[in-house]
Amino acid sequence: MAGFDYDLFVIGGGSGGVRAARIAAGEHGARVGLAEESRMGGTCVIRGCVPKKLMVFASAVPDALALGRDYGWEIPPSRFDWPTFRARLDAELDRLEAAYRGGLLNAGVTIHDARATVVDPHTVRLATGEIFTAKHILIATGGRPHVPENLGAPVMTSDDIFLLDRLPERLLIVGGGYIACEFAQVMAGLGVRVMQFYRGDQILRGFDDEARAMVADAIRGSGIDLRTGTDVTSLSRDDRGICVTCTDGRQAHFDAVVYATGRVPNTEGLGLQALGLTLGPKGQIPVDGWSQTAVPSIFAVGDVTDRMNLTPVAIREGHAFADTVFGARPWQADHHLVASAVFTRPELGAVGLTEAQAAERGPVEIYETAFRPMKTAFAGYPDRVMMKLVVDAMTRTVLGCHIVAPEAGEMIQLAGIAVKMGATKEDFDRTCAVHPTMAEELVTMRKLTRQHGVIAKG
């Protein structure tokens, strides 16, 4: 690969780009340069999954304290100190960023702390004015929050929440996806008065309908004023804060408004169109199964491709790219049957088809259970959890698993292995339960709840 400054130049220091760079350089000996205009680690580490999950933990403490009292513990009154938490959060993110940077340097990657754009199929230009050539270029710039223009008053995104100097007393969150729902409960758990607008009929579009309804009930039960079928028509600022008018004509005042109405691929200004690349309607970079674009020397992984916007998927895509191009070990990231979780309270874990999706494909059987978990039932709480298996009526293969429960994210990771392997309902039935646990219900559901498209015998 002589004649180029690098064998690979990566634009973007998030999960996918870092993995690709580290594997290409550290395991396959490629000369790799990487440019990142912000902090190393990308959305997940710096302003997404990691800080969000730490805030989830913090926001769950009041419920844990209340439950402790019901279990007989004498717990003195307590309050949440945002500056203390924020300082610890910043320190943890600094540590993680240093670890990402150190991993790249140890692998032999040259880091450029600057924005990079593509000049031609083998050339990138940094904001510093430096120009580098590379045999291959990998775009891994991720996504960014989408906010409508001309709203009439300043609004925040999920990125901004981690940077607050103090918590607002009154907060409106606009959106019904996992980011909106998670942060609504996080902020409510930290003592903020929260209202949530979603223009659709039900939150968490794309997840199982029963699971969505159960999470919506839990959100309302945690004191959040969740209004579906509602959107913002205008925003303005006055001496009482941000005045919000919604679609039903009602008005309310808030100290802050967060828009969590989706994310878009971060491709603006990269110079890709000048190369002849036609971007998708959201600005995403079209790629094939090998993450290769229509320009043979340019590849893309992660959220910037809008294939499946999950951190572990971006990491797989980056690893597959590096092994294929530099390690003579070709393989493609598998986007089929990828488990996911929504970190609300309770959590929602899912893998495979929803009941509605499966019913459209052919005859299916549904096995489900809903019950009060032992931990909170003992204290007299009305909390309920749900577990559902969607089963192909002909092959008996489990097509989908859906869990709404505390620690559903942990459970769905393990259930995902079985579903990915093509386990049948009988495989689940043959598995002995671990008692007493919530997860044992996954292997003890014997009674058929309902069927779709199944013709009765006889």
Which of 385, 395, 372, 370 is closest to 449 using CA atoms?
370
**Could you check whether the bond before residue 346 is cis, i.e. omega within 30 degrees of 0?**
yes
Residue 32, judged by CB atoms within 10 A of its CB (0-12, 13-18, 19+), counts as buried
82-107 vs 15-22: helix axis angle to the nearest 10?
Answer: 30
Whole-angstrom Cα Rg for the chain: 24
Residues near 49 by beta carbon (within 8 Å), at least 6 away in sequence? 43, 311
Please indicate whether residue 435 is annotated as part of the active site.
yes
State how far the alpha carbon of 368 is from the alpha carbons of 109, 194, 234, 339, 445, in Å.
50, 32, 43, 19, 7
Q: How do strand 193-198 and strand 170-174 relate by DSSP bridges?
A: parallel
Helices (H), 72-189: 82-107, 158-161, 178-189
209-221 vs 178-189: helix axis angle to the nearest 10?
Answer: 20
Tokens of 265: 């691929």
Helices (H), 132-289: 158-161, 178-189, 209-221
CB 145 within 8 A of CB 263: yes
Q: What SS3 class is residue 87? A: helix
CB 7 within 8 A of CB 325: no
How do the residues of the chain divide into helix, strand and coil, expressed in percent and rounded to 5?
35, 25, 40
The angle at the Cα of 199, spanning 208 to 351, to the nearest 5 degrees, equals 20
The angle at the Cα of 303, spanning 299 to 305, to the nearest 5 degrees, equals 45
Catalytic residue among 112, 122, 253, 435: 435
CB 100 within 8 A of CB 265: no
| Distance of alpha carbon 406 from alpha carbon 416, whole angstroms | 17
Q: Which residues participate in catalysis according to the annotation? A: 435
